[in-house]
Amino acid sequence: MSKTPIVMKPLFSWEELSQNFQLTRQSLYKKLREVEKEVREIIERVMEEGDGALRYYTRKFDGCDIRKWLIEERELQNSWKKMDKSFQETIADIEKRVRSFHQRQKPLSRWEEHSPSLWGERWQPLRSVACYIPGGRFPYPSSLLMTAIPAQIAGVKEIIVLTPPDAQGKVKSEILATAFFLGVKKVYRVGGAQAIAGACFGTSSLPAVDKIVGPGNIYVTAAKKILQGIVGIDTLAGPSEVVIVADETSSPHWLALDLLAQAEHDPLSLSILLSPEEEILLETKRYLERELQNQPLSFSREIPIYLYQVESKEKAWEMVNFLAPEHLEIITKEPEKDCLRIKNAGALFLGPQAPVALGDYGYGPNHVLPTSRGATFSSPLSVRDFGKFSSFIFPQDSQTLSWEQFSQLAEIEGLYYHRRSLLARGGKEWPLS
């Protein structure tokens, strides 16, 4: 049997938990710094050479020579037709759930009277969006559903998909089939930092977009970090994380499975169980060890799973609000009541029938979530991320406005023509000293 890749600490201090969490964040920062120089070179080469750079880096990283980036619509359609009925029904059912949830998020423009004037905000969808869908050994149709559907509901006219090809230049059929079902007609076989740069600046084959969304590897994240502000991005995703708060009503077997499910994502993923019940922790530990002896997948590195006995649920809520986890499972007697204590979490999963995996695969809410304490200041991906507001003012009776009052601030700030512009509306149009 291979070395157990799980580090378990049934009892340890608050200080140690905080330290471990901070080390994880620091590790992500260091990894970003390590690849940032290479990613900047990729971005600059894509800017200068366009398709030539895309071709070079696709050969280098994906091992294939691509001449035609856009996949024909006929191939999308054929991929859907080749899918078995079970897959088609699954995608259709999840699409309904996800669309139903996000339909309720669409913002509204508002006009308000502020006598004798009008003011307000006008919401408009973005023109174009790129959905980045990771490649690798397995396809991720769930990521396409979670990014394309809210964009469609927002009213985005041009939605493209960026996804890396395999060594044969192929894209997973499941991705192509899902794109066809959603009505997304432009899928490009390109990935990595070069895809992000291409979608930002545009090439002969790849259109420039207003915003890029979707998860990716460290190179994708670094590219999004560098280009943020030049193109819109959703979030800088770090390693995935789950915190579970459980009491005596929870199932240790299910807790172990949920912790391991999180550990599958990434060697830097965080899986934390908080409970005041020592027996729950010890029994969960036994199930974890049992699962690892028989698990079909091989964890290649040590993946920390922390089991922490808290003094009380109150202490657990304090820790959760500090950690601001991407995913939070509350498996207690009264989860609907306990969740009201939470200030910082990306997504909450309430009760024993709500594992994180249920949210990952399309129960309704979006699974693109803030990580690395991002839940202290940001939200899950939503329809609102695919549009923008413009504010407006419409004064209808200039005589009632205090032009001199506004101009006073212009004078204080030393802006001569700002002041004149204001005073002219108030009937005082003359040069000012």
Rounded Cα–Cα distance for residues 163 and 157 (Å): 20
Number of domains, the chain = 3
Domain endpoint, select from 179, 213, 236: 236
Per-residue pLDDT, 4: 43
Annotated catalytic residues are 326-327
Q: Are 323 and 307 found together in one domain?
A: yes
- Residues 71 and 146 both lie in one domain: yes
Tell me: do 11 and 21 sit in the same domain. Answer: yes
Q: Which pLDDT score is estimated for 156?
A: 97
DSSP conformational letter for 123: E
- At residue 298, the pLDDT reads 53
201 by Cβ neighbours in 10 Å (0-12 / 13-18 / 19+) ranks as: middle
pLDDT value at position 296?
60
Q: Within this chain, do residues 232 and 100 fall inside the same structural domain, yes or no?
A: yes
Structural domain containing residue 419: 393-425
Tokens of 100: 């139903």
Residue 127 half-sphere exposure, CB side, CA atoms within 13 Å?
5
What is the 3-state composition of the chain as percent helix, strand, coil, each rounded to the nearest 5?
45, 20, 35
Q: Are 303 and 267 in contact (CB under 8 A)?
A: yes
Q: Are residues 14 and 76 in the same domain?
A: no
Does 270 map to a domain?
Answer: yes
- Residue 20 in any domain: the answer is yes
Name 274's bridge partners.
Answer: 245, 308
Residue 284 located in a structural domain = yes
pLDDT for the residue 2: 41
Q: What are phi and psi of 160, to 5 degrees?
A: -115, 155
| Residue 381 resides in a domain | no
- Residue ranges, the chain, pLDDT below 50: 1-5, 11-12, 432
**Cα 230 from Cα 236, distance rounded (Å):** 15
- Least Cα distance to 367 among 88, 101, 153, 1 occurs for 101
Domain for residue 150, yes or no?
Answer: yes
**233 CB contacts (<8 Å, ≥6 apart)?**
211, 212, 213, 224, 227
pLDDT at 431: 59
Phi, psi (degrees; rounded to nearest 5) at 311: -65, -35
Q: Are 249 and 218 in contact (CB under 8 A)?
A: no
The answer to whether residues 283 and 314 belong to one domain is yes
Q: Does one domain contain both 256 and 226?
A: no
314 dihedral zone (left: phi>0; alpha: psi -120 to 50; beta): alpha
DSSP 4: P
Q: Is residue 431 part of a domain?
A: no
Q: For residues 359 and 252, state if they share a domain.
A: yes
If asked whether residues 253 and 196 sit together in one domain, one would say no
Q: Answer whether residue 110 is part of any domain.
A: no
Contacts of 210 by beta carbon, 8 Å cutoff, 6+ apart: 126, 127, 128, 129, 231, 232
373 lies in a domain?
Answer: no
Pair (60, 187) in one structural domain: yes
DSSP string for residues in 277-292: -HHHHHHHHHHHHHHH
Verify that 126 and 11 share a domain, yes or no: no
Domain termination site, one of 236, 254, 271: 236
Bridge partner residues of 115 (DSSP): none
**What pLDDT, on the 0 to 100 scale, is given for residue 112?**
77
The pLDDT, as a whole number, for residue 20 is 65
192 Rama class: left (phi>0) / alpha (psi -120 to 50) / beta: left
Q: Say if residue 264 is in the same domain as residue 140.
A: no
Q: What is the 3-state secondary structure (H, E, C) of 173-224?
A: HHHHHHHHHHCCCEEEECCHHHHHHHHHHCCCCCCCCCEEECCCCHHHHHHH
Instruction: Tell which of 190, 218, 236 closes a domain.
Output: 236
Q: Which CATH number characterizes residue 59's domain?
A: 3.40.50.1980
